A and B are shown apart, each in its own frame.
Chain A
Amino acid sequence: GAVVSQHPSRVICKSGTSVKIECRSLDFQATTMFWYRQFPKQSLMLMATSNEGSKATYEQGVEKDKFLINHASLTLSTLTVTSAHPEDSSFYICSARDVRGLAGVLSTDTQYFGPGTRLTVL
């Protein structure tokens, strides 16, 4: 259980185009999903917290108009990188918080990560 998928796993696009990345929780409901970015040899950097049915909360320094997040359902959140530029090339990872732990015990902190999306902007 607790599987999170991301699509696409890899995308290469031209500068100026927009790219949409999907994050799905496959076997549980996720009221909260998180979007991270990871640069080579660095830890994950939280970009934004996405709550189902409401606006995302962005971390300081993350442009909300550039990284559009939509969390329309309890199992799907999307990140759209608008007008992508080469400096946006990175590894983007989503995670979903399972409001009940694997044993059914209320657990609000366990996050399950998607496999990530490698974005390359030419």
Chain B
Amino acid sequence: EDKVVQSPLSLVVHEGDTVTLNCSYEVTNFRSLLWYKQEKKAPTFLFMLTSSGIEKKSGRLSSILDKKELFSILNITATQTGDSAVYLCLGGSNYKLTFGKGTLLTVNP
């Protein structure tokens, strides 16, 4: 059975801190790893990673995939209160996505 494990499950930091969210996966016929940010409603797309070792960046967020270790990290630098959300990691295969349970990030002023 495919599985995606995220850690930590929750994290509380202060504004300005840098955080690293972890995601390990075991997905048959793995194609891609996706990161989403979920606030009050539906998730919004952050990154899709398919190649190992290539960092993707979007502003203060960056992510990288290690296909050998079956692992990905999502980094957020200089955190802001608006970064508070659940961050979801998904493993994509030929036919479906497998969801991690998410990391609840709380950024305090």
Q: What is the interface of chain A, defined by CB distance below 8 A to chain B?
A: 2, 34, 42-46, 49, 93, 95, 101, 107-116
Contact = CB atoms under 8 A, between A and B. Distances in A.
Given A43-B88, A108-B31, A113 B44 contact: yes
B41 A115 contact: yes
B45 A112 contact: yes
In the A-B complex, the 8 residue pairs with the closest CB atoms: A109-B92, A113-B42, A109-B32, A116-B42, A43-B99, A93-B42, A43-B101, A115-B41
A43 B44 CA distance: 14
A110 B48 contact: yes
Nearest to A93: B42
A2 B10 CA distance: 30
Nearest to B33: A109
B58 to A, nearest CB: 12
B105 interface: no
29 contacts: A2-B45, A34-B97, A42-B101, A43-B100, A43-B101, A43-B102, A44-B99, A45-B99, A46-B96, A46-B97, A49-B95, A49-B96, A107-B48, A109-B31, A109-B32, A109-B34, A109-B92, A110-B34, A110-B48, A111-B34, A111-B45, A111-B97, A113-B42, A113-B43, A113-B44, A114-B42, A115-B42, A116-B41, A116-B42
Contacts of B95: 49
A110 B96 contact: no
Most chain-A CB neighbours within 10 Å: which of B31, B44, B96?
Answer: B96
